[in-house]
Chain A
Amino acid sequence: MSSKPLADKRYAAITGRTIVYSVLIIVAIYYLVPLLLMVLTSFRSMNEIRLGQLIEWPKSFSTEAWSEAWSQAQIGARDEKGLRPYFINSILMVIPAVSISTILGALNGYILSFWRFRGSDAFFAILLFGCFLPFQAILLPMSQTLGWLGISGTLGGLIFVHVTYGIPFTTLFFRNYYVNIPGELIKAAKLDGAGFFTIFWRIILPVSIPIIVVSVIWQFTQIWNDFLFGVVFSDPDSQPVTVGLNNLVNSSTGEKRYNVDMAGAIIAALPTIVVYVVAGKYFVRGLTAGSVKG
Chain B
Amino acid sequence: MSQPIKMKPRLVDKIEYWLPKVVMSPTVFLTMVFIYGFIIWTTVLSFTKSRILPVYDFVGFQQYVKLFLNDRWMLALKNLAIFGILFIVICLFVGLLLAILLDQKIRAEGFIRTVYLYPMALSFIVTGTVWKWLLNPTVGIERFVQSLGFESFSFDWLVNPDMAIYTIVIAGVWQSSGFVMALFLAGLRGVDNSIIKAAQIDGASMVTIYSRIIIPSLRPVFFSAIIMLAHIAIKSFDLIVALTGGGPGNSTDVPAIFMYQFSFTRSQMGVGAASAVVMLMGIIAILVPFLYSELRATKNV
* A contacts, CB < 8 Å to B: 1, 17, 20-21, 23-24, 27-28, 30-32, 34-35, 37-38, 53-56, 104, 107-108, 111, 115, 117, 120, 123, 126-130, 132-142, 144-145, 164-165, 167-168, 171, 195-197, 221, 224-228, 231-232, 242, 245-246, 249-250, 258, 261-262, 264-265, 268-269, 272-273, 275-276, 280, 283-284, 287-288, 291-294
A34 to chain B: which residues have CB within 8 Å?
Answer: 130-131, 134, 174
The CA-CA distance from A249 to B16 in the complex, in Å, is 55
The CA-CA distance from A140 to B45 in the complex, in Å, is 9
* B contacts, CB < 8 Å to A: 12, 16, 19-21, 23-24, 26-28, 30-31, 34-39, 41-42, 45, 54, 94, 97-98, 101-102, 104, 106, 112, 114-126, 129-134, 139-141, 143-144, 147, 174, 178-179, 182-183, 186-187, 190, 203, 220-221, 224-225, 227-228, 231, 234-235, 237-238, 241-242, 245, 255-256, 259-260, 263-264, 269, 272-273, 275-277, 279-280, 282-283, 287, 291, 297
User: Would you list the 7 A-B pairs with minimal beta carbon distance, nearest first?
Assistant: A225-B123, A115-B20, A227-B238, A276-B121, A55-B144, A141-B41, A138-B38
Q: A136-B276, A288-B186 are in contact. Are A276 and B118 (CB under 8 A)?
A: yes
Q: A53-B147, A132-B287, A291-B224 are in contact. Are A269 and B106 (CB under 8 A)?
A: no
B143 touches A265 (CB 8 A): no
A138 touches B121 (CB 8 A): no
Contact of A268 among B39, B112, B123, B263 (CB under 8 A): B123
The CA-CA distance from A264 to B128 in the complex, in Å, is 13
The CA-CA distance from A56 to B144 in the complex, in Å, is 8
A292 touches B221 (CB 8 A): yes
The CA-CA distance from A145 to B38 in the complex, in Å, is 10
Measured CB to CB, the nearest residue on chain B to A23 is B101
Distance from B275 Cβ to chain A, minimum over Cβ atoms (Å): 7
B139 touches A258 (CB 8 A): yes
A197 to chain B: which residues have CB within 8 Å?
Answer: 19
A108 to chain B: which residues have CB within 8 Å?
Answer: 24, 27
A272 to chain B: which residues have CB within 8 Å?
Answer: 121-123
A31 touches B118 (CB 8 A): yes
The CA-CA distance from A242 to B187 in the complex, in Å, is 34
Measured CB to CB, the nearest residue on chain B to A224 is B123
Contact of A242 among B30, B123, B280 (CB under 8 A): B123
Distance from A105 Cβ to chain B, minimum over Cβ atoms (Å): 9
B131 to chain A: which residues have CB within 8 Å?
Answer: 34
Distance from A144 Cβ to chain B, minimum over Cβ atoms (Å): 7
B120 touches A246 (CB 8 A): no
B260 to chain A: which residues have CB within 8 Å?
Answer: 136, 139, 228, 231-232
B102 touches A24 (CB 8 A): yes
Distance from B181 Cβ to chain A, minimum over Cβ atoms (Å): 9
B101 touches A139 (CB 8 A): no
A275 touches B186 (CB 8 A): no
A264 to chain B: which residues have CB within 8 Å?
Answer: 129
The CA-CA distance from A127 to B26 in the complex, in Å, is 12
Q: Chain A: interface secondary structure?
A: helix
A164 touches B30 (CB 8 A): yes
A17 to chain B: which residues have CB within 8 Å?
Answer: 104
A137 touches B30 (CB 8 A): no
A228 touches B130 (CB 8 A): no
Q: A31-B116, A227-B237 are in contact. Are A55 and B35 (CB under 8 A)?
A: no
Contact of B114 among A54, A167, A280 (CB under 8 A): A280
The CA-CA distance from A132 to B284 in the complex, in Å, is 9
A196 to chain B: which residues have CB within 8 Å?
Answer: 16, 19-20, 23
Measured CB to CB, the nearest residue on chain B to A290 is B224
Q: A136-B279, A140-B276 are in contact. Are A269 and B23 (CB under 8 A)?
A: no
Q: A104-B27, A141-B42 are in contact. Are A20 and B101 (CB under 8 A)?
A: yes
Measured CB to CB, the nearest residue on chain A to B286 is A132
B35 to chain A: which residues have CB within 8 Å?
Answer: 129-130, 133, 138, 168
24 inter-chain pairs at a CB distance below 8 angstroms, sorted by A residue, are A27-B98, A27-B116, A32-B115, A53-B147, A104-B27, A111-B24, A132-B283, A133-B280, A136-B256, A137-B280, A140-B272, A142-B34, A164-B30, A168-B31, A195-B12, A196-B20, A227-B124, A227-B237, A242-B238, A246-B242, A275-B121, A284-B182, A293-B220, A293-B297
A167 touches B30 (CB 8 A): yes
A140 touches B42 (CB 8 A): yes
Distance from A59 Cβ to chain B, minimum over Cβ atoms (Å): 15
B123 touches A269 (CB 8 A): yes
Measured CB to CB, the nearest residue on chain A to B301 is A293
Q: A28-B112, A31-B116, A111-B23 are in contact. Are A137 and B126 (CB under 8 A)?
A: no
Q: A129-B35, A261-B133 are in contact. Are A294 and B190 (CB under 8 A)?
A: yes
List 19 additional A-B contacts (Cβ < 8 Å) besides A53-B144, A55-B134, A246-B241.
Answer: A31-B115, A34-B131, A54-B144, A55-B140, A104-B27, A111-B24, A133-B35, A134-B282, A136-B256, A136-B260, A137-B42, A137-B279, A138-B38, A226-B123, A246-B242, A262-B130, A269-B123, A284-B117, A292-B187
Q: A20-B106, A291-B228 are in contact. Are A245 and B125 (CB under 8 A)?
A: yes
Among A128, A138, A195, A275, which residue has the most Cβ atoms of chain B within 10 A? A138
B38 touches A31 (CB 8 A): no
